[in-house]
Amino acid sequence: MENSVNGQMKKVFAVFVLFALTASMLFAVAPQAKAQDYVEWKTFAYIIVSPNPVGVNQQLIVQFRIDKTYPGGTVRGPFWEGFTVRITKPDGTVEERTGLRADSTGGSWFIYTPDQVGVYKFQTIFPGQWVNTTTPKRWYAPSQSRIVEITVQAEPIPPYPDAPLPTDYWERPINAEIKGAWQIADNWLMRGYDYLFRGFPGATAFAPYADAPDSPHILWTRQLWFGGVGGGKFGDKSYYTGLSYEQPYEPIILNGRIIYTEHDPAASGNIIGTRCLDLYTGEEIWFLDGVSITCAQVFDIENPNEHGLIAHLWSMSGPATSGTWTMYDAFTGRKILTIENVTWGGSQLVGGTTVFGPSGELINYYIDNAKKRFIVWNSSKAIFAAFPWIGGVQGAIYSPAAGAVIDGRLGVQLNVSIPDYLPPLSTGYPILGGEGVIIASAQDQSKYPIVYIHVAFDAETGQVLWVKNRTNIYGMWHRPSENVGSGIYVLYDEATTRLHAYDIRTGEEKWVSEPLNTLGENPSDFATFTRDYHIAYGKVYTAGFDGHVRAFDAETGKLVWDFYFGSSGYETPYGTWPVYAGFTIADGKVYVTNDEHSPDSVLWRGAKLWCLDAETGELLWKISGIFRNVAVADGYATSVNSYDGRIYVFGKGPSKVEVSAPQVAVTVGTSVLIRGKVLDMSPGQPNTPAVAKESMAEWMEYLHMQRQCPQEVKGVPVDLYAIYPDGTYNYIGTATTEPLAGGIFSFAFTPQQEGTYTIIAVFQGTESYGS
């Protein structure tokens, strides 16, 4: 049977060969005719492997390609297919990566980890490919690259050396070769760092990346509007602070610039315009007349053509389902485009539904109660859809056209139904977002305790995760934390002065704190007005009218530390100094100020900006002033002081060192007096003496707040070195400056060699000054 089958196969083969020969004789002109149906293109294959040499078990980048891109291809395809990269190891074994596909550039890459010491060989093999979309058709012929040899050694090769992060005085821009600078540098893009509106009623903020000031050193000040005592027949009455509702100063900080909107003191709707100031000098860079900027945006563009960050500013207005957003260039303030019909939830008093996506895109969450819809809107989707660029391919390039008006409905990325059984839910505050969950709320005030209904949605799909009725909150007001963190969100019950923590994924109550009006030194029932709390560093931080700042363990609800401002005597009606408008957490520190909703025209005294250690509650520094809604970026903090109506920027400033020695010859063994100065060169007080951190607050209050000059001020250390006549470099001692004597220092030095000495004074810098 086997022979029979083989015999049949041979017959078939013979017939085929005979037919083929016959056909070639009958149609001798066919090859010429078919040659006109397609064109053969020669290809050239390449292989690039790096680094060379490399250590065993270190990664190699293997790039394969041919010299041509696919005709008519886009970033979506079609692409060259079927590449093989042949790898010959030092022991002679061959490994092949097959079925590889190029991208729109004609090639691609993969990571390979060699596991043997010796010489590896790499080669690209392109199998050839038909392209039928051209006229005539094309056959791209097979090709092979040259063989590339890579030396794999036993010792690992070192990484590119990192430049150390700056610890001295520094400014933006940060050179892109300094990797890791994200650990100390950050922007403040929204008024509440990562939410649009901070306002006045207990809006806290947390900046997880930025450095923040370690001393109350003032870099500069600038008058925002009239402030301080009016005088004359008005006695000690001061100018209106705007603390009740208007909020005088809610800055954005972007790449070394402060951007804020000015308005009339008693009417926040009367917009004067938006100013852009240099963070380091206070000098004005540009002004947008009549424009209110809501937030900034840093958008990470990653597509085949563009890679990097683009900065925009946004002015937002209009109702919840048909808002108008206008984009501006952040560097120049120039208007770019407008998006109409934006679904965004509208302007909220505090918090809100607009957040940043993973690439910096602006994402809005909106609940349409009438239509029972959960809607997610994406700014980048609207822009990419409006300007698709190549062949209708979205995402190929980011090109928002100047002067364009975009239909915001292009930005809806999710629109799903929600269950009919849900009650009408809040479309703004209090709606919480974080850790992939959106929580909306409703109230049933027909019962007591009031039933607070919380509904959790999956932020990606809109699916309802859980619904919970909170029936153990006795206060008329329940105040949610401004954020979700550590897997929980928190409510405060003003009636019982207790915190309630809930699991963000299940909605189950995790813990209830002890009553705040029973905790710490001199507890007070003013703890009922604890309007400020935020989750960060695994803790829940609180502050209120009782003069206490507290930290609770986010996992257990146990009190970790308690800081008390102390007694205010007769100066305030609270027995201490209250906290109303929210604190700022950054760089392992809590910045909290004393203020209230509507202070009298004769302001009470003793308010301060306090800087506390977030881990221990230890006081790090304090300075006089009512500094509401502190914003932090790049090691600086800024706020307006309601005692004088001036903008303040706190942080490290530049310094200058001067040194002199007698320019006359002296005999060996004779003492000479070295003199010099260390001066603060900050724009706010240039050429004034540098002082130690311990004296900084009093010194700054003297220079900027019309306080008396302190009777005792500590100076800063100066290290002195000498280059001896024999060329050696020697430390000769440390002197301390005398700020009350103009910042001078002096040091007696006795030379022991004949010849000329060069004296060098080195100020190493402090928390307040660069070197």
pLDDT at 344: 86
How confident is the model over 339-354, as a mean pLDDT? Answer: 74
How confident is the model over 67-83, as a mean pLDDT? Answer: 92
Beta carbons within 10 angstroms of residue 82's beta carbon: 15
Same domain? For 434 and 352 the reply is: yes
Same domain? For 600 and 665 the reply is: no
> Lowest-pLDDT range, 117-121, 400-404, 697-701?
400-404
Domain boundary among 630, 650, 670: 650
Q: What confidence category does residue 531 fall into, taking pLDDT thresholds of 50, 70 and 90?
A: confident
Same domain? For 22 and 43 the reply is: no
- How far CA 10 is from CA of 3, 7, 13, 15, 570, in Å, comes to 11, 5, 5, 9, 115
pLDDT at 349: 44
Q: Domain tally for the chain?
A: 4
CATH number reported for the structural domain that contains residue 132 in this entry: 2.60.40.1930
Strands of 303-436, DSSP E = 307-317, 323-329, 335-342, 354-356, 362-368, 373-378, 404-407, 412-417, 432-434
pLDDT tens figures, 434-471: 788 998 888 898 999 999 999 999 999 999 999 999 99
pLDDT at 715: 98
pLDDT at 320: 83
Tell me the C-alpha distance between 172 and 285, whole Å. Answer: 15
Phi, psi of 254 (to 5 degrees): -140, 115
Q: What confidence category does residue 14 fall into, taking pLDDT thresholds of 50, 70 and 90?
A: very low
DSSP string, 155-183: SPPPPPPPPPPP-SS--SSPPTTSTTGGG
Is residue 86 domain-resident? Answer: yes
Asked if pLDDT for residue 182 goes beyond 80, the answer is: yes
- How far CA 193 is from CA of 151, 294, 355, 495, in Å, comes to 50, 12, 10, 30
Paired tokens of 525: 């029932």
Q: Is residue 464 left, alpha or beta, with left meaning phi > 0 and alpha meaning psi from -120 to 50?
A: beta
Paired tokens of 541: 């931080």
Same domain? For 746 and 624 the reply is: no
Paired tokens of 553: 């363990």
Same domain? For 397 and 508 the reply is: yes
Asked if pLDDT for residue 2 goes beyond 50, the answer is: no
Same domain? For 30 and 96 the reply is: no
Tell me the C-alpha distance between 232 and 338, whole Å. Answer: 49
- CA dihedral over 174, 179, 183, 188, signed as positive or negative: positive
Is residue 466 domain-resident? Answer: yes
Higher-pLDDT residue of 532, 606: 606
- CA dihedral over 612, 168, 194, 538, signed as positive or negative: negative
Asked if pLDDT for residue 67 goes beyond 50, the answer is: yes
How confident is the model over 86-109, as a mean pLDDT? Answer: 97
Is residue 514 domain-resident? Answer: yes
pLDDT at 4: 39
Mean residue pLDDT of the chain comes to: 91
Asked if pLDDT for residue 387 goes beyond 90, the answer is: no
Tell me the C-alpha distance between 45 and 137, whole Å. Answer: 21
Tell me the C-alpha distance between 546 and 530, whole Å. Answer: 8
Is residue 164 domain-resident? Answer: no
Asked if pLDDT for residue 481 goes beyond 70, the answer is: no
Same domain? For 706 and 616 the reply is: no
DSSP string, 96-111: EEEEE---TTSEEEEE
pLDDT at 395: 61
pLDDT tens figures, 217-273: 999 999 999 999 999 999 999 999 999 888 889 999 999 999 999 998 877 778 999
Tell me the C-alpha distance between 411 and 364, whole Å. Answer: 10
pLDDT tens figures, 273-324: 999 999 999 999 999 999 999 999 999 998 877 899 999 999 999 988 899 9
Same domain? For 6 and 105 the reply is: no
Same domain? For 750 and 610 the reply is: no
Higher-pLDDT residue of 743, 581: 743
pLDDT tens figures, 110-149: 999 999 999 999 999 999 999 998 789 999 999 999 999 9
Domain boundary among 612, 634, 650: 650
Tell me the C-alpha distance between 453 and 745, whole Å. Answer: 67
pLDDT at 257: 99
Q: What confidence category does residue 426 fall into, taking pLDDT thresholds of 50, 70 and 90?
A: confident
Is residue 511 domain-resident? Answer: yes
Same domain? For 625 and 686 the reply is: no
Same domain? For 97 and 200 the reply is: no
Is residue 700 domain-resident? Answer: yes
- How far CA 431 is from CA of 440, 455, 482, 507, in Å, comes to 5, 10, 9, 15
Domain boundary among 594, 618, 650: 650
Is residue 516 domain-resident? Answer: yes
> Lowest-pLDDT range, 187-191, 351-355, 403-407, 529-533?
351-355
pLDDT at 36: 60
- How far CA 761 is from CA of 451, 657, 718, in Å, comes to 69, 7, 6
CATH number reported for the structural domain that contains residue 590 in this entry: 2.130.10.10
Paired tokens of 168: 């001295």
Same domain? For 604 and 676 the reply is: no
Tell me the C-alpha distance between 442 and 522, whole Å. Answer: 36
Tell me whether residue 120 is exposed, middle or buried, using C-beta atoms within 10 angstroms of its C-beta: 0 to 12, 13 to 18, 19 or more: buried
Range of the domain at 90: 37-153
Location of structure tokens 């604190």: 583
pLDDT at 435: 85
Is residue 445 domain-resident? Answer: yes
Q: Give the global pTM.
A: 0.90
Location of structure tokens 């040091």: 747
Tell me the C-alpha distance between 429 and 441, whole Å. Answer: 9
